[in-house]
Amino acid sequence: MPFEKAMAELERIVGDLEKGSVSLDESVRLYARGKALQERCEKLLAEAEARVEKITLGENGAPKGVTPLDVT
């Protein structure tokens, strides 16, 4: 599931839970689904961060390659 679709579903679930208009059983089911979606989104974000690279410059200021982006 793409990140955007997972986030949209997660936002809908959070909205439903915040309204308090669902039964306890449905709330538990929605919570479990929301937790799975949260984990999926976090995994996709981590994968995206790992792919982000920054351009490194040589001594003359010209680009010489790329290195992983340090996000810490």
Q: Are 63 and 55 in contact (CB under 8 A)?
A: yes
pLDDT at 25: 97
What's the gap between Cα 62 and its chain centre?
Answer: 34
Q: Which long-range contacts (CB under 8 A, 24 or more apart) does 42-49 make?
A: 44/3, 44/6, 45/3, 48/3
**Rounded Cα distance, 13 and 28, in Å:** 11
| Enclosing domain of residue 38 | 3-68
Q: Check whether 22 has a pLDDT greater than 90.
A: yes
Tally of structural domains, the chain:
1
Reported as a pLDDT band with limits 50, 70 and 90, residue 55 is low
Instruction: Look over the chain and give the mean of its residue pLDDT values, rounded to a whole number.
Output: 86
Q: What is the mean pLDDT of residues 22-41?
A: 97
**Rounded Cα distance, 6 and 10, in Å:** 6
